[in-house]
Amino acid sequence: MQLRTRVDGGGTPRPAEWGIDSEYGRLRDLLIGPIDNYHWTPGNAVSQRSERLGLAFDSEVVRAQYQEMIAAYEEAGVNVYQIPAEAGLPYQVYARDSSVMTPWGAIIMQMEKPYRRGEYAAVLRFYLEHGIPIYDIVSAGNVEGGDFMVLKPGVAICGYSGERSIEPAVKQLKNWFEAEGWEFMTYAFDPHFLHLDVQMGMIAEDLAVVCVEAVEPGLVDWLKSKQIHIMEISYGDTMNMGTNIVALGDERVLIPAAGKSLIEKCRAEGLTVFDPDVSMIAAGGGSVHCMCQPLRRDAVPGSV
């Protein structure tokens, strides 16, 4: 198949079977990373914090929690694909970062940490073997999928801290999206937060969870200007991956069991919540949003 489908100057056709135009359309097909080689890595600030707090990695618990998460997706009617495991890639489970899905196909990202750079190869092979179009491959430097979100039709955002994602690579994405007629917000933040999805996440249509005390006021104002309502979360919950959630569509959301406050708020809003326990995995640096990459969501009203 053709390696790059992006049309210079915009007007790239949408594939019939794959792609997303929001973070909340009904989730049909999902890519997750393998748990086989996962272990906490010293280069990750979250895992270092977990060890300082006296937590100990338990591979049996990790595998059981991984299966609980998959079962939750299957119960929600999601078709789950898995990237084949490769030795030497301890954080391959975090499928959010090595690629992102767009309305026009997948973009292959570049990873910042040396122990993660090889992840692009396995995910690229996956897309090629399954006939999933590759929109393009980032070439302007490292940018990771945890900083990127297709918020709603016509509107995307990508954060950068100067570490996991850097401004030149984010600007490359911005140029591509703007050529397709989309608005593309870029947002600079402190590397303490690792990725944008540690600070905010889409729950459902026009509803996001945001740690207001952690983000810049300008981001809050911009989200509100897009008619996105904000459900606030505390800084303490945020640092326990409280915004790292997955909208399933049709007023359903996947929230880690540890996010008790957010779960209560969502259920009070009438949302159906799936709440697998992934605490042992999350203690290594990423939760449910980090572990998945949507491959296909239903188009939503307002699609462009």
Can you give the pLDDT at residue 37?
Answer: 95
pLDDT tens figures, 183-239: 999 999 999 888 999 999 999 999 999 999 999 999 999 999 999 999 999 998 888
Residue 146 is assigned to a structural domain of this protein = yes
The answer to whether residue 19 is domain-embedded is no
pLDDT at 53: 64
**Nearest in space to 155 (alpha carbons), one of 22, 250, 251, 246:** 22
For the chain, the domain total comes to 1
Closest CA to 160 of 194, 183, 188: 188
- What DSSP assignment string belongs to the chain? --S--PPTTS-PPPPSS-B-SSSSSPEEEEEE---TT----TT-HHHHHHHHTT----HHHHHHHHHHHHHHHHHTTPEEEEPPP-TT-TTTT-TTTTEEEETTEEEE-B-SSGGGTTHHHHHHHHHHHTT--EEEE--SS-B-GGGEEEEETTEEEEEE-SSSS-HHHHHHHHHHHHHTT-EEEEEE--GGG-SGGGTEEEEETTEEEE-TTTS-HHHHHHHHHTT-EEEE--HHHHTTTTT--EE-SSSEEE--TT-HHHHHHHHHTT-EEE----HHHHTTT--TTTTEEEEEE---TT--
pLDDT at 46: 60
* Rounded average pLDDT over 251-264: 96
Q: What is the pLDDT of residue 283?
A: 87
**222 in a structural domain:** yes
Q: Answer whether residue 116 shows pLDDT above 90.
A: yes
258 located within any domain: yes
pLDDT for the residue 45: 60
Quick check: is 159 in a domain? yes
Q: Distances from the Cα of 193 to the Cαs of 9, 47, 93, 149, in angstroms?
A: 34, 13, 19, 16
- Residue at token pair 């992840």: 119
Residue 173: band (very low, low, confident or very high) from pLDDT cuts 50, 70, 90: very high
* Residue 196, token pair as written in the block: 């944008």
d(CA 189, CA 159): 7
Tell me the residue type at 163.
Answer: E
Specify the pLDDT at position 55.
73
Q: State which residues form the domain around 290.
A: 27-297
CATH number at residue 162: 3.75.10.10
pLDDT value of residue 195? 95
**pTM (two decimals):** 0.94
Q: Is residue 301's pLDDT more than 90? A: no
**pLDDT over 70, % of the chain:** 94
CA gap 297, 59 in Å, rounded:
32
pLDDT tens figures, 75-113? 999 999 999 999 999 999 999 999 999 999 999 999 999
Residue 231 belongs to a domain: yes
Q: What is the pLDDT of residue 42?
A: 66
Exposed / middle / buried, residue 192 (Cβ in 10 Å: 0-12, 13-18, 19+): exposed
| 44: Cβ contacts below 8 Å, ≥ 6 apart | 91, 113, 284, 285
Judged by phi (left if over 0) then psi (alpha if -120 to 50, else beta), residue 219 lies in alpha
Contact 127, 119 (CB under 8 A): no
**C-alpha 70: how far from chain center:** 16
Summarize the confidence of residues 265-292 as an average pLDDT.
95
Q: Within a domain: residue 6?
A: no
Task: Please check whether residue 14 lies inside any domain of the structure.
Answer: no
Is pLDDT of 119 > 80? Answer: yes
Higher pLDDT, 54 or 146: 146
Residues 14-53 have pLDDT tens digits of: 999 999 999 999 999 999 999 999 987 766 666 566 556 6
